[in-house]
């Protein structure tokens, strides 16, 4: 049943919907109730118009193919719009709110003609959680509605929680493809790249997106709300919104440890979130694979929730060898975008199985056979799947108060210099580790091979305010937490030997590093002091049952002072980017590391 917006009890919400409809001019307005019947009805609508392909091999699962111009987040079309440019900082694209809104209002004028405006009431976090926030997204894309239904808690219960005067974050989205009367729709309507805008107004907690129907550009609960707007809210309100997985580790005695970890892209975040430990007696549970919202509890500790209710993961490279729990999660009730369609009615992507299919239809609707020049799936092909389907999802993943965080881990992809694992000396030193996180580019990345790309706290594309102020917020949170603050560590699964081979097998074996981290918290295992932090002694890591050469272990734990002196010079140059918003406490940490390296 359609809900008349006049029945909405929240006057401010009702007014905003009416104003947006007057601007965008949809044919109809539909308020989503979040029911299974609604989801199924919209999916069948998209099957009928050629947008969705039902998969014979996966129950209630569908394949979509986007326009080739609409395949990823568009960072150069993403804006943080604040009154003063300094508040957006050097890592964000900035336009004044007046100018940006004028441009976008022009684009929004009549943009939903011939379409339905869907009103999506959604909760980031369990409904009613003290850490959760409510958003309302207006969109003309049924694809977005179905994805948001998996990724967030959608529907009538959210409106009930909102009540008559509750706070919500307004999120306006249009694919930017109005239909004239009688005009035939296409499978993936969107605007050309130069008309795409993903805009954030953190001073108003407002999100406007236009022109893209893909991923984080269109699912506005994802990076837009959960990180860019939430990070600015968190700074103002004294909590944390981080680009972090949340993992529970359980030792053989049943003691639980909760780990939040931040890695730049292509560093195995989802794989770690769904870890299957190889260490006997240790167990792991997934709480979240991408985002962590954290507030200080009544006991003074930091408590985290996963604000999402689904996984929006990169498909290529995901397999039973790399992430069996993800593969099990995708067996039903999932949405696939820009993957290949096999002849037997399943999806496929590079790396999914040892042998490719003998024939498939690729993500551009073309015949494909092994040996073709182009990949069968897009490099950023995605799956959307309910978190509750993950076999290792924690029974406490929707606990309203969250779970207490014991450990923060930062990391990056570094073939040299950075050891397998090391521990920060204290909170300020740990903030320094997060602020200097980096990955080296590979042949697959744009730029020279071996170049360092700094991605502080894995938040460079997602911090909704000045990154220098963000660093200061980390220091402020440490001051607030005091001796109850989580311990901080840095890991690097990607170190290579001189001949280019991996020194560490990764995947489930990473549990051995996590075991050492948990034992460090308990004071059960030793480490040696180095200029960069506490590094395990060769006998400290539990390597029982592993066939790893002693020489590899030596290389993995080696700290080369000369290499780190060069690293320090690079960090010093990098820090100059942040100008007068840069906290002195980070400069002090750099100077202290230089002194240790000189000693």
111 is catalytic: no
- Residues 24, 115: Cα–Cα separation, whole Å: 10
List C-alpha distances in Å: 232 to 43, 239, 366, 464, 470.
Answer: 35, 10, 44, 6, 9
Q: Which two tokens stand for residue 32?
A: 């989503």
Q: Which of 32, 190, 267, 286 is catalytic?
A: 267
- Residues 162, 133: Cα–Cα separation, whole Å: 10
- Residues 288, 305: Cα–Cα separation, whole Å: 8
- Residues 336, 325: Cα–Cα separation, whole Å: 17
CB contact burial 561-585 (16+ within 10 A = b; e otherwise): eeebeebbeebeebbeebeebbbeb
Q: Which two tokens stand for residue 18?
A: 């009416």
Query: Are residues 384 and 310 in contact, defined by beta-carbon separation less than 8 angstroms?
Result: yes
Query: Are residues 590 and 573 in contact, defined by beta-carbon separation less than 8 angstroms?
Result: no
Q: What angle do CA 26, 29, 32 make, to 5 degrees?
A: 135
The residues, any chain, with a CB within 8 Å of residue 493's CB and separated by 6 or more, are: 267, 268, 411, 420, 504, 506, 510
* Three-state DSSP state, 296: strand
The HSE-up count of residue 362 (CA atoms within 13 Å, CB side) is 19
Alpha-carbon dihedral angle through residues 452, 495, 537, 457, given to the nearest 10 degrees: 40
Closest CA to 282 of 253, 252, 257: 252
> Are β-strands 256-262 and 360-361 bridged in parallel, bridged antiparallel, or unpaired?
unpaired
User: Which residues lie across from 356 on neighbouring strands?
Assistant: none
Q: Helix crossing, 427-435 with 467-481: angle to 10°?
A: 160
- Residues 306, 317: Cα–Cα separation, whole Å: 24
Q: Which helix (H) or strand (E) holds 259?
A: strand 256-262
User: Which residues lie across from 133 on neighbouring strands?
Assistant: 124
Catalytic machinery residues: 267
């Amino acid at each position: 049943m359609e809900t008349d917006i006049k029945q909405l009890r929240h006057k401010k919400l009702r007014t905003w919907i009416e104003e947006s409809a007057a601007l965008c001019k949809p044919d109809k307005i539909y308020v989503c109730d979040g029911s299974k019947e609604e989801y199924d009805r919209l999916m069948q609508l998209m099957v009928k118009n050629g947008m969705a392909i039902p998969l014979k091999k996966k129950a209630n699962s569908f394949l979509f193919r986007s326009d080739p111009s609409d395949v990823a987040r568009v960072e150069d079309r993403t804006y943080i719009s604040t009154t003063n440019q300094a508040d957006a900082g050097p890592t964000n694209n900035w336009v004044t709110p007046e100018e940006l809104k004028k441009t976008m209002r022009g684009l929004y004028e009549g943009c939903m003609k011939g379409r339905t405006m869907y009103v999506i009431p959604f909760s980031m976090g369990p409904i009613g959680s003290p850490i959760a926030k409510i958003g309302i997204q207006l969109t003309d894309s049924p694809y977005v509605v179905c994805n948001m239904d998996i990724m967030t808690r959608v529907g009538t219960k959210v409106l009930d929680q909102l009540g008559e005067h509750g706070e919500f974050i307004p999120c306006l989205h249009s694919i930017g493809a109005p239909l004239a009367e009688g005009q035939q729709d296409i499978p993936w309507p969107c605007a050309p790249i130069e008309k795409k805008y993903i805009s954030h107004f953190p001073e108003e907690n407002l999100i406007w997106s236009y022109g893209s129907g893909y991923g984080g550009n269109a699912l506005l609960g994802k990076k837009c709300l959960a990180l860019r707007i939430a990070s600015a809210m968190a700074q103002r309100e004294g909590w944390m919104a981080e680009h972090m997985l949340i993992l529970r580790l359980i030792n053989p005695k049943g003691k639980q440890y909760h780990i939040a970890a931040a890695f730049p892209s292509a560093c195995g975040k989802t794989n770690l979130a769904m870890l299957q430990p190889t260490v006997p007696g240790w167990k792991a549970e997934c709480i979240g694979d991408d985002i962590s919202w954290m507030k200080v509890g009544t006991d003074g500790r930091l408590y985290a929730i996963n604000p999402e209710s689904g996984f929006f993961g990169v498909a290529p490279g995901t397999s039973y060898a790399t992430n069996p729990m993800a593969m099990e999660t995708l067996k039903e009730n999932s949405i696939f975008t820009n993957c290949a369609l096999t002849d037997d009615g399943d999806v496929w992507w590079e790396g999914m199985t040892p042998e490719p299919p003998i024939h498939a239809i690729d993500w551009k609707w073309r015949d494909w056979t092994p040996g073709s020049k182009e990949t069968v799936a897009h490099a950023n092909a995605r799956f959307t799947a309910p978190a509750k389907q993950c076999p290792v999802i924690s029974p406490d993943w929707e606990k309203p108060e969250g779970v207490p965080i014991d450990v923060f881990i930062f990391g990056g992809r570094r073939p040299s210099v950075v050891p397998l694992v090391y521990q920060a000396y204290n909170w300020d030193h740990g903030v320094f580790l997060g602020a200097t996180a980096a990955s080296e580019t590979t042949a697959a990345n744009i730029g020279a091979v071996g170049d360092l790309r700094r991605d502080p706290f894995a938040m460079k594309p997602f911090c909704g305010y000045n990154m220098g102020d963000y660093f200061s917020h980390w220091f402020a949170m440490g001051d607030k937490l005091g001796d109850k603050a989580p311990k901080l560590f840095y890991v690097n699964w990607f170190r290579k030997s001189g001949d280019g081979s991996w020194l560490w097998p990764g995947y489930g074996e990473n549990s051995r590093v996590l075991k050492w981290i948990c034992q460090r918290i308990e004071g059960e295992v030793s480490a040696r002091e180095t200029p960069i932090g506490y590094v395990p002694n060769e006998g400290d890591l539990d390597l029982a049952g592993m066939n790893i050469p002693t020489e590899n272990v030596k290389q993995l734990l080696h700290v080369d002072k000369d290499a780190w002196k060069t690293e320090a010079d690079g960090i010093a140059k990098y820090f100059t980017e942040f100008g007068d918003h840069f906290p002195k406490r980070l400069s002090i940490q750099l100077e202290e590391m230089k002194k240790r390296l000189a000693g």
